Amino acid sequence: MDSDTTDHRTADGRAVCVLRNARVPGGAVVDVALADGRVVDVRDPSRSAAAAGELDLTGYVLLPAPAEPHAHLDKAFSWDEIRPPMGDLASAIDAWRAHSEHLTADGIAVRAERAARTALANGTTAIRSHVDLLVGDDPLRGVEALVAVRERLRTAIDIQLVALCPYDVGDAALEAALDAGVDLVGGSPHHTPAPSSDLQRLLRVAERRGVGVDMHTDEQLDPDVLTLEELAKSVRDWPAHMPVTAGHCVSLGVLDAETLERVIAEVRDSRIGVVALPITNLYLQGRQHPVSTPRGLTAVRALLDAGVVVGAGGDNVRDPFNPLGRSDALETAMLLVTAGHVTAAEAYHAVSTGARAVMGLPDAGPHEGAVADLLAVRADGLEDAIASAPADRYVFKAGRLVAASHVRRSLHVPL
Whole-angstrom Cα distance, residue 261 to residue 89?
27
User: Are the beta carbons of 92 and 54 closer than 8 angstroms?
Assistant: no
Shortest spacing between CB 247 and Zn ion, in angstroms: 6
How many residues sit in the footprint of Zn ion (CB under 5 A)? 1
Nearer to Zn ion, 351 or 385 (CB): 351
Q: Tell the smallest beta-carbon distance from residue 72 to Zn ion (Å).
A: 6
Q: In terms of CB distance, is 277 or 344 closer to Zn ion? A: 277
Question: Cβ closer to Zn ion: 158 or 315?
Answer: 315
Nearest distance, CB of residue 14 and Zn ion, angstroms: 41
The residue nearest Zn ion at its CB is 315
Q: Where are the beta strands (DSSP E) in 249-295?
A: 273-276
DSSP symbol at 59: T
Q: Which is nearer to Zn ion, 248 or 397 (CB)?
A: 248
Segment 180-239, which members bind Zn ion (CB under 5 A)?
Answer: none
Least separation in angstroms between CB 321 and Zn ion: 7
Residue 244 gets which letter from DSSP?
E
User: Residue 86: how many CB atoms within 10 A of its CB?
Assistant: 11
- How far apart CA 16 and CA 379 sit, in angstroms, is 25
CB 93, min distance to Zn ion, A: 11
Write out the binding residues for Zn ion, residues 287-346 only, by CB under 5 A: 315
CB of 96 to Zn ion, least distance (A): 11
Of 304, 305, 270, 316, nearest to 68 by C-alpha is 316
CA distance 381 to 135: 47
- Which residue number, 88 or 380, has a Cβ lying nearer to Zn ion? 88
Taking the complex as a whole, the smallest distance from the CB of residue 281 to Zn ion amounts, in Å, to 10
Q: Give helix then strand counts, H and E, for the chain.
A: 14, 17
For Zn ion, give the closer residue by CB, 22 or 73. 73
21 or 217, CB closer to Zn ion? 217
| Cβ(107)–Cβ(50) below 8 Å | no
The one-letter amino acid code at 413 reads V
Biggest CA–CA distance in the chain, Å, is 70
Instruction: Provide, rounded to whole angstroms, the least separation between the CB of residue 258 and Zn ion.
Output: 29
Instruction: Render the burial of 332-342: b for 16+ CB within 10 Å, e for the rest.
Output: bbbbbbebbeb
Q: Choose between 191 and 397: whose C-beta lies nearer to Zn ion.
A: 191
Distance CA 120, CA 152 (A): 13
Positive or negative, the Cα torsion across 192, 327, 314, 146? positive
List residues near Zn ion by CB under 5 A.
315
